[in-house]
Amino acid sequence: MNPSSAIEALRRTDTPTIANAIERLRVRPKTEGYFGSEIRCFFPEMGAMVGYAVTAIVDTSRPYAKGESRRSTLLGAVKSAKKPAITVLRDLSERKHRGAVWRDLLAAAAKRLGGIGLVVGTNIRVELSGVEIRSGEIIHGDENGLVLMPPGVVDRLLDAIVAEKEREDRIASLIDSPKCATEQIINELS
């Protein structure tokens, strides 16, 4: 499958299903690649975002030095990144959550250059919620959370998603069935 089709297929899938499908592949420990609850979606009505990470480090607590152009460096990184691009920023500021990192004109410019989303954290090494992110890695985010795709598994992941959705539908049918024993439901969920 070509990368654009794979990205679109992932965009149509919710984060929990992707997380379960990654577990099914057994390519990393079950406790890795998932972001904590401090990462949240502010615009769930926009749907899921799936794209290639563009990582950057900023410090919103200090003014720009004369001649410094942080914005053009960041926009240059978005421009040269694989598309669609999701900017992942680490804010070094001691004043957590108080800086204006991303405003309307920067967002519009990034969108024009192929950017589709932004993730900002304050305690990262371009690490967010304990998950290290490198430029070019694929991330998926929606109202349910954010997950990092393991390298090189996208095609296998799409097959695992289909299998996971079938499993979830089967379990949902069991739960809805008055004839199903509770032990069977518990076994299916184990």
**Helix (H/G/I), strand (E/B), else coil: 47:** coil
**What is the mean predicted confidence (pLDDT) over 91-95?**
72
Both tokens of 138, joined, read 């694929």
pLDDT confidence of residue 50: 92
pLDDT confidence of residue 101: 67
How many CA atoms within 13 Å lie on the side-chain side of 65? 2
Q: Does the pLDDT value for residue 99 go beyond 50?
A: yes
pLDDT band at 123 (very low <50, low <70, confident <90, very high): very low
Cα end-to-end distance, the chain, whole Å: 32
Cβ neighbour number for residue 118 with a 10 Å cutoff: 17
Mean pLDDT, all residues of the chain: 81
63 prior amide bond cis, ω within 30? no
Residues 6 or more apart whose Cβ sits within 8 Å of residue 104:
none
Q: Does the pLDDT value for residue 26 go beyond 90?
A: yes
**What is the mean predicted confidence (pLDDT) over 73-92?**
83
pLDDT confidence of residue 124: 44
How many residues make up the chain in this entry?
190
Q: Does the pLDDT value for residue 122 go beyond 60?
A: no
Q: Which residues pair with 49 in a beta bridge?
A: 141
Instruction: Give start and end residues of each alpha helix (H) in 86-142.
Output: 104-112
* CATH topology (fold) of 3-189: Glucose Oxidase; domain 1 (3.50.30)
